[in-house]
Structure 1
Amino acid sequence: MSDGGEVFGDGHGRFLLACIRLQIDCFTKKEILANYSRVKMSDRCVSNGIGMITAMIFFLPLLLLCSFSLAHGQGCPAGQQKDPVTLVQIEQVWLRAVEQHDKAALECILADEFEEANFDGSLIDRRAMLATVAKPSTVHFELSELHAHVHGNSAYVRGVGGTRSQDGKFHAKNRFTDIFVYRDGRWQCVAGHESHFPEER
């Protein structure tokens, strides 16, 4: 395969071919080669000074479609800081995601292998936890006593979940610990444990 210079000119050719190589995640190799072959057949047009026009005709739809696909794949945050503040924020996002039925936000937080040991001894996996988003909730929960500890690419957060009565008093319901790993540029929860308080504090 040409390096692109003979088809589009050195600068534009290398740029467009670099874009083609980035389409592997968006299109099959067969589709990419088919588009490249169509432009390759237009060598005679290049010599007449219309190479870039040909390139735009064949490749602009390809690039626009891939840009659309990539935009939809950027829902999860990347480049999160490895600090306690970020982890505390993630716990708050998790809580709000459940209350606001934001499944996409929760999908970004939970690792594929996520499991939580519930207060009754049962295990809740990622699928079951995501299902909680669809359940209607009339109770507004709050988090307190959040403490995050980072150890390189792993971390854990310990906190208390509860409700607040009309008089403003916080009523603790459970204590939890969530374990995170840093993967794909963000913190993902791989395991958790929850214990209910035997009586209201």
Structure 2
Amino acid sequence: MNSALSTFKVLTLGMLATVVATEAFSQEPKLSQKPKGATVEASKEEIESTIRILSGEWSKAMLQRDETILERIWATDFVYVEPSGRRFNKAEGIADMKKSTEKLTSAAASSIDVRVYGGGTVAVDIGDYKQVGQDKNGKPFDRLSRFTNVWILKDQQWQCVSGHASNVPPKP
């Protein structure tokens, strides 16, 4: 009887250890151990924050004419539709930015709303983009547009695959 009780205790402890070990090893790492906004496991809030940061970097790229930022954040198959209806791809957009004769004094994205889909692999941001500067003739401008961009997680990096902007008419 003692032997049967000892065997039962050993089996029970063994099963308990197996259950505990299985639970411990199957749990995902803590959120703080995950790259923020760079993996499917990132929280919705982290992804939203990352997309807002990338929208800010996009504005910075336009202001400083920094093609390295656009090379990183625009996907290879990127396509954009301007308020005029003109479409351009990544190479065309970068070339247009480099040859532009406009002088921007400020460029900023604001009021950005981000929605996350696809289990954290797709994000859509909608916001306002304001540019202030001078056109090629030195005439000042102050433009406001509303944009929608689609971002996907590619190789642990968020990249914009498409976007569209519409002009917001000046207030009377």
Q: TM-score range by the shorter chain?
A: 0.5 to 0.7
Equivalent-residue separation in structure 2 for 1:164 and 1:101 (angstroms): 15
Residue 101 in structure 1 maps to residue 69 in structure 2: no
Q: Match of 2:150?
A: 179
Which of 95, 108, 111 is residue 75 of structure 2 equivalent to? 111
Which one-letter code corresponds to 1:190 in the other structure?
A: V
Is the Cα–Cα contact under 8 Å of residues 82 and 165 in structure 2 kept in the other structure?
A: yes
Equivalent-residue separation in structure 1 for 2:51 and 2:155 (angstroms): 15
Equivalent-residue separation in structure 2 for 1:131 and 1:177 (angstroms): 22
> Alignment RMSD, CA only?
2.1
Which is richer in strand? Answer: 2
Which of 128, 134, 139 is residue 160 of structure 1 equivalent to? 128
Equivalent-residue separation in structure 1 for 2:72 and 2:82 (angstroms): 21
Q: Which runs of 5+ in 1 are unaligned?
A: 1-78, 166-170
Task: Decide whether aligned partners of structure 1 residues 148 and 157 sit closer, same or farther in structure 2, where only a CA change above 3 A counts.
Answer: same
Determine what percentage of the aligned residue pairs are the same residue.
25
SS at match of 2:160: strand
Residue 141 in structure 1 maps to residue 112 in structure 2: no
Q: TM-score, normalised by structure 2?
A: 0.62
Residue 123 in structure 1 maps to residue 94 in structure 2: no
Equivalent-residue separation in structure 1 for 2:127 and 2:94 (angstroms): 21
Query: Highest relative contact order (Cα 8 Å, sep 6+), 1 or 2?
Result: 2
Q: TM-score, normalised by structure 1?
A: 0.53
Equivalent-residue separation in structure 2 for 1:143 and 1:116 (angstroms): 16
Which one-letter code corresponds to 2:109 in the other structure?
A: L
Equivalent-residue separation in structure 1 for 2:85 and 2:97 (angstroms): 21
Deviation at 1:200, TM superposition (A): 3.7
Which one-letter code corresponds to 1:197 in the other structure?
A: V
Count of equivalent residues: 118
Q: Which runs of 5+ in 2 are unaligned?
A: 1-34, 134-141
Which one-letter code corresponds to 1:111 in the other structure?
A: A
Equivalent-residue separation in structure 2 for 1:162 and 1:116 (angstroms): 17
Which is richer in helix? Answer: 1
